[in-house]
Amino acid sequence: MTRKLYWEEPYSKEFAAKVVSVERQVVVLDKTLFYPRGGGVACDTGTLNTSRVQETTKTDDKILHALESPASLKAGEKVTGKVDWERRHRLMKMHTAGHLLSSLFYSRANCRITGNQIDVDRSRMDFNLESFDRTQIEGYVAEANELIRKDAPVKTYFLGREEALRLPDMVKLAQASPPAEAQLRIVEIEGVDRQADGGLHVSHLKEIGQIQLLKLENKGKTNRRLYYDLVGNGITRSPDLT
């Protein structure tokens, strides 16, 4: 089992680990800071020693680091890993912004997430919103930005699965349940939202900056699609609300 340092130290940028196995360009370590792709959230990239990690994925209880070229590493060897921090922090902000939006859609319109893609340059979320009302959606984004300005701490902790699922509003996905594990990881925006989630998040809402609504698409009753970015993340876009 790969120890998930990314859960323990999400703000760390560098770590030391031992190589467990190597198969061509794929390396498994005993522990890692690299967050794997999953649940619609993009993965971390970075380096292992001098080798570039171009993708991180997971299978069973192992985290797989795919290098750009065949690995010169050997099992038992010690390595130094460095996470691309700018990418990691953008994804953390994007993901927390998504939780904030999903909380408002759920609490205000009783709708759930039907799909999502959290990425560095822009992200999207799909909701089973009853009516495709642009003014309503723009209002939720404005409310989310107001909550960001007010700030709130974001914390993570574990609860037993049965205990967690007894809590109201814990799951905001329309067609998926939390993993079948005895302990569920909970992400809580204090006083605003809590969800079972395995992703990485900022520690305070103000880190997000401001959510910028880029585009809205009506994909059907169970798929009202919202594209968003974050103001101040180094990318300038013009909103397209058609």
Tens of pLDDT along 9-26? 999 999 999 999 999 899
Better pLDDT: 222 or 61: 61
Q: Give how far the C-alpha of residue 212 lies from the chain's centroid of Cα atoms, to the nearest Å.
A: 18
Is 34 a residue whose pLDDT tops 90?
yes
Structure tokens at 147: 């909550």
Q: Is the dihedral of CA 97, 103, 108, 113 positive or negative?
A: positive
**Eight-class DSSP state of 232:** T
Better pLDDT: 117 or 129: 117
Q: Give how far the C-alpha of residue 40 lies from the chain's centroid of Cα atoms, to the nearest Å.
A: 8
CA-wise closest residue to 27 among 60, 6, 54, 9: 54
- 3-83 has CATH 3.40.50.360 classification: no
Q: Which pLDDT does position 173 carry in this prediction?
A: 79
**Residue 96 Ramachandran class (φ > 0 left, ψ -120 to 50 alpha, else beta):** alpha
Q: Where residue 129 falls among pLDDT bands split at 50, 70, 90? A: confident
pLDDT over 70 percentage in the chain: 94
- CB of 27 within 8 A of CB of 46? no
Using DSSP bridges, classify how beta strands 78-83 and 113-117 pair: parallel, antiparallel or unpaired.
Answer: unpaired
The CA distance from 11 to 88, in Å, is: 9
Instruction: Show the DSSP H helices in 131-219 as ranges.
Output: 134-150, 161-166
Instruction: Show the DSSP H helices in the chain as ranges.
Output: 5-8, 85-109, 134-150, 161-166
Q: What are phi and psi of 60, to 5 degrees?
A: 55, -120
Give me the residue spans of the domains in the chain.
3-83, 88-231
pTM of the model: 0.92
**Eight-class DSSP state of 176:** -
Look at domain 88-231 and name its CATH class.
alpha beta
